[in-house]
Amino acid sequence: MAGPVLEVRDLFVSLRREVPIVDNVTFSVEAGKTVCLVGESGSGKSMIANAVVGLLPGTRLAITGGDIRFRGTSLPELGPKAMRDLRGRRISMIFQDPTSALNPVRRIRTQFDEVFSAHGVEPETGREARMRQLLELAHLPNPRRILDAYPFELSGGQRQRVMISMAMALNPDLLIADEPTTALDVTTQAQVLQLIEELKENFGTAVLFITHDFGVVAEIADDVVVLRHGRIVEQGPLEGVLKNPRNDYTRTLIAAVPHWHPRSGALDSDPLISARSLRKVFKGRFVALDDVSIDLLPGETLGIVGESGSGKSTFAKCLIGLEEPDDGELVVDGTDIMQLALPQRRRRRHLMQMVFQDPTAALNPRHTIGRTLMDVVRVNGCPRAAANDKVLSLLDDVKLDRKFADRFPHELSGGQRQRVCIARALAANPRVLIADEALSALDVSVQKQMLKLFEDLKKKRDLTIVFITHDLRVAAEICDSIVVMRGGKTLARGTPKDVLETDRHRYVEELLAAIPGQDWFSTGSAPSQLPTLEIAGQDNTHACQDSRLPPG
């Protein structure tokens, strides 16, 4: 069939028929191609996806202009019955969070089977065989066990593969993937991206892929549509956009992909805090920390890197006292505080403060910024008369306007909230700042500024920073030393240069290989040590020339 699978023309989606959330968007997706919609929160990228499948949330959002054509048929004009026939059969969708996208109390088999029964399709080989075949295509070992399982018995990556298998069950012409890898670990992400790519090849499906990460874009896109505030700021073939971005905003997004500059040169002094053989077991079963020993030198930035379940957050919690280790020593300023009574322990730990992942959850919604800071300033011994000035100077320190003191958290943006959280941590006069994935809830363009803020504060206040992250590249760029954790153990430690280049552990190798978009954004991995742009371009053209199965 000729012509694009999906054509979106001059699309407007508006709130209460007034405020446009999607503003005059035009693009098309051809069979066997991947188009990436890229943008940060509020860019309207998910709205476009929802509009295509006809599932705009709530009753106040509506398509107010333009057209969406699927194989030449206008979707907004289709009746609910006809639309239902398309959904799942010819247009499929997968979501960001595979955990909540599966019904928690029904077996995978029942939910999978429903795809066939809802559309009245009987696969030639029978449903059971077809389901197993699809799960096998998604590289799920032992499909029968998967079918018998309930969602909570599977891992996040497995659930997303199941979702993808279900989406591909009826050979759809179009697959819409709404941030399908954002909730996954980097190694799982690489596998899922590869799976989508494979299935696209095998089935000749058109893919509309939504993401905020230019690394992912570089990995899988044929065409790129960059969105901001509901408008297209730039669109075109991947190569053109990456090589010669015409728009400043696109440049910011591309620059937000962390660079590859592993630092070298270690500090050398007596540790400020020294954790020795820490052990923590949850519910008597899950070993979160297994004999972990880490030294923190004064004035350094220590990166603790790992995937989910590696124990990196548990370690931070044990340091600061949100959890108590079951075993081991925690030496602060030369004293093992695990020997002390709880109140003394708490006082010793006071030199550490924490910045959390989600700044929205970390601020009391009923307190103004001023009050939040004031409370901390006051309990840390600042006299009443000087407290107000102190609050204002804290706002200055994190580069927030002083007028924010009278605002409530919901009036601030995510980045501004995270600045407030940093100010609150500073209000307790810490010597150590622990940042637990402090950037991952923020938009990519804000992450850069936040890194710079950490850097400035560190210099200005002589801070020691513990930086907990899943992103090796970020850690390599800003940390003096790195600890890589996996399954509650430390696997590698040393300067970024040592850990990531000179003396690479096999797991580090795996992590690096999994980073998406390596052809464009170097990670020092073996194949892309050379200047890469041309090679990557050829790679892509090569991929596009692949012969395809007829759709459907």
Partner 1 sequence: MLKTVVSEIAKRIVVIVFVITGTFLLVRAAPGDPASFIAGEAASGDPEYIDYLRQQMGLDRSLPVQLGYYFRNLASLDFGQSYREGRPVFDMIAERLPNTLILAGAAFILALVMGTTAGFVAAVHRGRWIDRCISIGSVLFFSSPYYWVALLAILLFSGKLGWLPSHGTQTIGAGYTGIAAILDYLHHLVMPAMASALFTMAIYARLVRASMIDTANALFVKAAHARGMAPSRLWFRHVLRTSLLPITTMAGVQAGQLVAGTILTETVFAWPGIGRLMYDALGSRDYNVVIGVFIVTSVIVILANLLVDILYRFVDPRTRAA
Partner 2 sequence: MLIWKSLFSKPDAVLALAILCAIVLAGLLAPVAYPDGPWRMVARPLLAPFADMRHPLGTDALGRDLLASLMFGARTSLAIGLVSTCVATVFGASIGAVAGFFGGRVDSALMRSTEMFQTVPSFALAILLIAIYTPSTFSIMIAISVVSWPPVARLARAEFLSMRRREFVQAALLSGQSNLRVAWSQIFPNILSPLTVMAALMVSMAILFESALSFVGLGDPKVVSWGYLISAGRGVMSQSWWLTFLPGFAIMLTIVSISILGDAIGDSQDPHFERRESK
Residues that bind partner 2 in the complex, under the rule CB under 8 A: 21, 41-47, 96, 179, 182, 212, 320-322, 350, 352-354, 356-358, 360-367, 375-376, 379-380, 410-411, 414, 421, 424-425, 427-428
- Chain residues in the site for partner 1 (CB under 8 A): 53, 55, 57, 84-89, 92-93, 95, 97, 100-107, 111, 114-115, 118-119, 150, 152-153, 163, 166-167
Q: Which amino acid is at 138?
A: A
- Altogether, the residues listed in the chain come to a count of 552
Nearer to partner 2, 39 or 245 (CB): 39
Closest CA to 504 of 492, 515, 495, 516: 492
Closest CA to 99 of 137, 151, 59: 151
Nearer to partner 2, 147 or 391 (CB): 391
Minimum distance between the CB of residue 413 and partner 2, rounded to whole angstroms?
9
C-beta separation of 28 from 52 below 8 A: no
Give dist(CA 487, CA 312) in Å, integer.
Answer: 9
Nearer to partner 2, 308 or 380 (CB): 380
Minimum distance between the CB of residue 45 and partner 1, rounded to whole angstroms?
16
Choose among partner 1, partner 2, none what residue 375 binds, the Cβ cut-off being 5 to 8 Å by kind.
Answer: partner 2
Minimum distance between the CB of residue 116 and partner 1, rounded to whole angstroms?
10
Give dist(CA 36, CA 253) in Å, integer.
Answer: 14
- Write phi, then psi, for 441 (nearest 5 degrees): -90, 0
C-beta separation of 420 from 450 below 8 A: no
Choose among partner 1, partner 2, none what residue 163 binds, the Cβ cut-off being 5 to 8 Å by kind.
Answer: partner 1
> What is the sign of the dihedral through the CA atoms of 36, 195, 549 and 545?
positive
Give dist(CA 399, CA 395) in Å, integer.
Answer: 6
Instruction: Count CB atoms within 10 A of the CB of residue 128.
Output: 15
The strand pairing partners of 236, in sequence order, are 224
Minimum distance between the CB of residue 79 and partner 2, rounded to whole angstroms?
28
Minimum distance between the CB of residue 192 and partner 1, rounded to whole angstroms?
16
The strand pairing partners of 289, in sequence order, are 280
Nearer to partner 2, 24 or 532 (CB): 24
C-beta separation of 29 from 4 below 8 A: yes
Choose among partner 2, partner 1, none what residue 286 binds, the Cβ cut-off being 5 to 8 Å by kind.
Answer: none
Give dist(CA 375, CA 35) in Å, integer.
Answer: 49
Q: Quick one: which H or E segment has residue 46?
A: helix 45-53
Nearer to partner 2, 189 or 540 (CB): 189
C-beta separation of 194 from 543 below 8 A: no
Minimum distance between the CB of residue 328 and partner 2, rounded to whole angstroms?
21
Minimum distance between the CB of residue 361 and partner 2, rounded to whole angstroms?
5
Choose among partner 2, partner 1, none what residue 467 binds, the Cβ cut-off being 5 to 8 Å by kind.
Answer: none
- The crossing angle, in degrees rounded to 10, of helices 444-461 and 414-427 is 20
Nearer to partner 1, 181 or 518 (CB): 181
Choose among partner 1, partner 2, none what residue 53 binds, the Cβ cut-off being 5 to 8 Å by kind.
Answer: partner 1
Alpha helices in 138-227 (DSSP H): 143-148, 156-168, 186-203, 214-220
Nearer to partner 1, 120 or 381 (CB): 120
Nearer to partner 2, 367 or 431 (CB): 367
Choose among partner 2, partner 1, none what residue 102 binds, the Cβ cut-off being 5 to 8 Å by kind.
Answer: partner 1
Nearer to partner 1, 50 or 301 (CB): 50
Region of 277 please: left (phi>0), alpha (psi -120 to 50) or beta.
left
Choose among partner 2, partner 1, none what residue 360 binds, the Cβ cut-off being 5 to 8 Å by kind.
Answer: partner 2
Choose among partner 2, partner 1, none what residue 482 binds, the Cβ cut-off being 5 to 8 Å by kind.
Answer: none
Give dist(CA 256, CA 272) in Å, integer.
Answer: 33
Minimum distance between the CB of residue 90 and partner 1, rounded to whole angstroms?
9
Minimum distance between the CB of residue 411 and partner 2, rounded to whole angstroms?
8
Choose among partner 2, partner 1, none what residue 44 binds, the Cβ cut-off being 5 to 8 Å by kind.
Answer: partner 2
